[in-house]
Structure 1
Amino acid sequence: MPRSIRLPQLPWHGPRWVDFGLPDGWVVETCNIAGHDRPPMSDAQIEAAINSPIGSPRLRDVARGKSEVVVLFDDMTRPTRVARIVPFILDELASAGIGDSSVRFIVAASCHGALTRIDFAKKLGEAVLARFPVYNHNPYENCTFVGTTSYGTRVLINSEVMDCDLKIAIGSTYPHLLVTYGGGGKMLLPGVAHIDAIHANHLLGTKGQGSRVKGQGAHIHANHLLGAEFSAKSTSQTNPARVEIDEAARMVGLDFLVDNLVNCTGDSVAMYAGALEPAHTACVEEASAHYLAPKARDKDIVIANAFAKASESVIGLNTAVSLKDAGGDLVLIANAPEGQVVHYLIGSFGRGLGNRLGMRFPVPPKVRRLIVYSEYPDLAGTGPFDDPSRVVMLDNWDRVIEVLRESYGDNAAVAVYPSADIHYLG
């Protein structure tokens, strides 16, 4: 196996590049996002972005006279290096005369599993944990009603968040299966919302992205993500779930947003800070070019690497569009030592137990076999798929190649997507 592809792995466990061997005779097309190799922002660039906000005074001016501060941050399913950003936020708060005792951090984990102290340290740094309380979000209790959206969803938000008169959020924007783009108001709904509001918003998303609703549950067409025609305008005006998120965010009143774009290794390469809507809109406008990857066609094999969202690797199934119409094999690389994220809305909690949303992920029609490769097997967490007979779980790369060669020998047309979890295809 004299040739190989080099792919980023393990965003929260010592990020590194790993070589994956391939047969020499395979014809390989690598489809990177446009911004895959953009350099990480320097500290000076991060500081400049935070201190030159869009549509807002400087954070120190927004913070003056406030008494209680919450800093929301995204969880381990997102690669945002929050620890690099927080010091500049804290400097602004100190300049406004806000003491440490008035500040707390809350992870906007929605209905994902709770983070541990180890996770908090990776996200925020030990210095933050030594100075400030850091809390998980409980989507089942202690949420305050803030209003009803035009879609009829009763929005309840974490009560600790609502008790603060200065609300700051740090996250990143990526293409998103249900709401076209994440980031922005998603830090609030679903980030720190009640499970009932999260449920209702996800249902809107399944209807808004061309998914089919079957019975009481939504069956997501996982091979559909975004097309090149999406723009900031269409995102805010045509996707019901995104519209509702923005409505909810206005009800809550987020005071300052820090939204990031990341490269293929999860480093922030662009940052938009300031008022929620103009900052997020500007971020999405750049994201539409930054995350664009060329769409390969007529391939025997697709290799979809999940890095930024390795613990939500099912997102990579969108790459099935690159297989031949007659069908082929999709290899999903999902190296997540923590396993697939615990998700109380769409996760599986037993062989005979579904989930609250009733969601199943169809193996896309053109996929003969879905080969899920992980050095950290998670038989319960990967899925749930609606046709497990076409799913093969392997934890040895040589075995992956052996299985593929049994079908294709040394002659195969292959597409490799190094950032299958954060791209959209054009």
Structure 2
Amino acid sequence: MKRINLPYGKGKLTIEIPKERLAGILLSKAHDYRAKMGEEELVRDALLHPVGTPRLRELARGKDNIVLIASDHTRPVPSKVIMPAVLEEIRQGNPDAKITVLIATGFHRPTTREELIAKFGEKIVDHPAIRFVVHESGKSEDMVSLGTLPSGGELLINRIAWEADLLISEGFIEPHFFAGFSGGRKSVLPGVSSRTTVLANHCSEFIDDAHARTGILEGNPIHRDMIYAAGKAKLAFIVNVVLDEDKKVIEAFAGHYEKAHEKGCQFVDQLSGVDAVPSDIVISTNGGYPLDQNIYQSVKGMTAAEATCRPGGVIIMAASCIDGHGGKELYDTFAKEKDKEKIMKRFLLTDRNSTVPDQWESQILCRILLKYKVIMVTQAPKDMVEEMQMDYADSVEDAIRLADEYLGRENSKITVIPDGVAVIVRNKNQG
């Protein structure tokens, strides 16, 4: 038997797969990558050598209203590592600057004070010179229009970001299942953009585009909108990190929102690219907490499995999903209509400006469910999982037994992806 650890919630699941059934384990090389220095040192070194911009301390000079876009509770960005170095750099250039930390929630629920403290530390959250504001995409009164996106949608972003003398952001870079990579420009769109703008950018036409896939930026219409939005918002400086499986910083990039991000994406691409090992059963995860808090987020990890699962096969998704489905629209899509062909047809006929919340996640999940059986190993309620047209299992071992029953044999090969959001699965036979 081969023992494999799977990130799950704030812990791990240890599974055993018969060696004769194990086809392969797809791991990002990030897990074995040895960082050239410690986490804080990497961030400080990136700030010392920015890509395509002057140092942050120089940009901060004479800027009284500095806004830092920070990720929310659903992202594993180590803000306790990044923020002290960024704040110190700002203070070196402008000791009296007014600093606002704008939490980029995108379409997620508002971040709580407890989550802010867990993420940034009480010292920073309660600092008298730092104001924290949680972005709410549905508050139209908080938005300002910056014109039209290349796609034709209206660009509306948080007024606080627009009114900044200096707009900067923190984030992390990993493969993203339709934006190509996370980080960089995503702090603005979807991070601090309005509901209207996010919906237009995440339209069914773009989600269906062959370039809107993991690890692809060139020709990606979603990325094109995001880059445009970051430029219009005058995002002047980013600090992005790359993490290993333990969510530790192994590299950092700072500077221009496009140039520094591209350099970071190249690094991630080299680490994360893995060749598909086609199997009838594929086990994946969403990398554990905080990315596996709900079913909505867990669709990302399913797309890694999708890229290496044989047609008609079974995807086993191990994700804690302690917050349940994570999106009522996502849940309702599959709970109220059982014909997946009808669901997909409805999505593809939906006009860009008529996109509804979570449609993109539903569209991608529907694409997967049309091709594969999905079994969830999760803390989400069994009836919720089944209402969403997936099967439920108490353990990965039980899920494998269910998969064997479904496939009608007990010797199907199994591919394991311990962290489905950390890899770019390259399958030359799939578009």
TM-score (normalised: structure 1): 0.83
The answer on whether the counterparts of 1:8 and 1:265 sit within 8 Å (CA) in structure 2 is no
Whether 2:161 is the aligned partner of 1:161: answer: yes
Instruction: Give the stretch that moved more between structures: 17-26 or 313-322.
Output: 17-26
The answer on whether the counterparts of 1:178 and 1:202 sit within 8 Å (CA) in structure 2 is no
Cα 1:207–1:334 change in 2 (3 A) is closer
Cα 1:159–1:347 change in 2 (3 A) is farther
Alignment of 1:62-73 (within 5 A): 62-73=59-70
Alignment of 1:299-378 (within 5 A): 299-307=279-287, 309-311=291-293, 312-318=297-303, 319-325=305-311, 327-342=312-327, 348=332, 351-352=335-336, 355-356=356-357, 358=359, 359-360=362-363, 361-362=365-366, 364=368, 367-377=371-381
Matches of 1:293 and 1:315 in 2, distance apart?
Answer: 16
> Over residues 309-368 of structure 1, what are the superposed CA-to-partner deviations in whole Å (9 max), with x where a residue is unaligned?
32311112221342334x322101112433443477x56499449954644422537855
Cα 1:198–1:383 change in 2 (3 A) is farther
In the alignment, which residue of structure 2 is the partner of 1:135?
133
Cα 1:256–1:196 change in 2 (3 A) is same
Higher helix share: 2
Whether 2:120 is the aligned partner of 1:121: answer: no
Amino acid corresponding to residue 137 of structure 2 in structure 1: P
SS in 1 for 2:323: coil
Number of residue equivalences: 393
Instruction: Give the stretch that moved more between structures: 283-292 or 39-48.
Output: 39-48
SS in 1 for 2:314: strand
> Over residues 260-311 of structure 1, what are the superposed CA-to-partner deviations in whole Å (9 max), with x where a residue is unaligned?
22222322211110121211111112222122122111x1311011116323
> Over residues 195-233 of structure 1, what are the superposed CA-to-partner deviations in whole Å (9 max), with x where a residue is unaligned?
11111111177356339xxxxxxxxxxxx8337xx4xxx
TM-score (normalised: structure 2): 0.82
Amino acid corresponding to residue 266 of structure 2 in structure 1: E
SS in 2 for 1:310: coil
> Over residues 247-271 of structure 1, what are the superposed CA-to-partner deviations in whole Å (9 max), with x where a residue is unaligned?
1111110121012222223222111
Amino acid corresponding to residue 128 of structure 1 in structure 2: I
Matches of 1:393 and 1:270 in 2, distance apart?
Answer: 38
The answer on whether the counterparts of 1:178 and 1:205 sit within 8 Å (CA) in structure 2 is no
Whether 2:252 is the aligned partner of 1:257: answer: no
The answer on whether the counterparts of 1:178 and 1:209 sit within 8 Å (CA) in structure 2 is no
> Deviation at 1:28?
4.2
In the alignment, which residue of structure 2 is the partner of 1:32?
27
The answer on whether the counterparts of 1:320 and 1:366 sit within 8 Å (CA) in structure 2 is no
Whether 2:19 is the aligned partner of 1:19: answer: no
The answer on whether the counterparts of 1:329 and 1:370 sit within 8 Å (CA) in structure 2 is yes
> Over residues 7-37 of structure 1, what are the superposed CA-to-partner deviations in whole Å (9 max), with x where a residue is unaligned?
2233xx4xx4431233465334111012222
SS in 1 for 2:366: coil
In the alignment, which residue of structure 1 is the partner of 2:416?
416
The answer on whether the counterparts of 2:308 and 2:425 sit within 8 Å (CA) in structure 1 is no
In the alignment, which residue of structure 2 is the partner of 1:392?
391
Out of 42, 48, 52, the position equivalent to 1:51 is: 48
Out of 257, 262, 275, the position equivalent to 1:281 is: 262
In the alignment, which residue of structure 1 is the partner of 2:3?
4
Matches of 1:372 and 1:86 in 2, distance apart?
Answer: 36
Cα 1:66–1:347 change in 2 (3 A) is farther
Matches of 2:204 and 2:2 in 1, distance apart?
Answer: 45
Out of 242, 266, 269, the position equivalent to 2:223 is: 242
The answer on whether the counterparts of 1:204 and 1:241 sit within 8 Å (CA) in structure 2 is no
> Deviation at 1:97?
2.9
Cα 1:98–1:340 change in 2 (3 A) is farther
Matches of 2:398 and 2:43 in 1, distance apart?
Answer: 44
Cα 1:373–1:268 change in 2 (3 A) is same
Matches of 2:12 and 2:231 in 1, distance apart?
Answer: 41
In the alignment, which residue of structure 2 is the partner of 1:214?
none
The answer on whether the counterparts of 2:39 and 2:81 sit within 8 Å (CA) in structure 1 is no
Cα 1:384–1:107 change in 2 (3 A) is farther
Matches of 1:383 and 1:421 in 2, distance apart?
Answer: 24
Matches of 2:372 and 2:224 in 1, distance apart?
Answer: 37
SS in 2 for 1:245: helix
Instruction: Give the stretch that moved more between structures: 260-269 or 182-191.
Output: 260-269
Cα 1:204–1:159 change in 2 (3 A) is farther
SS in 1 for 2:376: strand
The answer on whether the counterparts of 2:15 and 2:397 sit within 8 Å (CA) in structure 1 is no
Cα 1:109–1:148 change in 2 (3 A) is same
Cα 1:323–1:148 change in 2 (3 A) is closer
In the alignment, which residue of structure 2 is the partner of 1:215?
none
SS in 2 for 1:362: helix
SS in 2 for 1:20: strand
Matches of 1:207 and 1:260 in 2, distance apart?
Answer: 26
Instruction: Give the stretch that moved more between structures: 333-342 or 61-70.
Output: 333-342
Matches of 2:314 and 2:240 in 1, distance apart?
Answer: 36
Matches of 1:351 and 1:196 in 2, distance apart?
Answer: 25
> Over residues 60-118 of structure 1, what are the superposed CA-to-partner deviations in whole Å (9 max), with x where a residue is unaligned?
11101111121111123322111111000111122123347x11211111111111122
Instruction: Give the stretch that moved more between structures: 359-368 or 306-315.
Output: 359-368
Matches of 2:208 and 2:21 in 1, distance apart?
Answer: 39
Structure 2 stretches of 5 or more lacking a match? Answer: 338-342, 344-355, 427-431
Cα 1:292–1:350 change in 2 (3 A) is closer
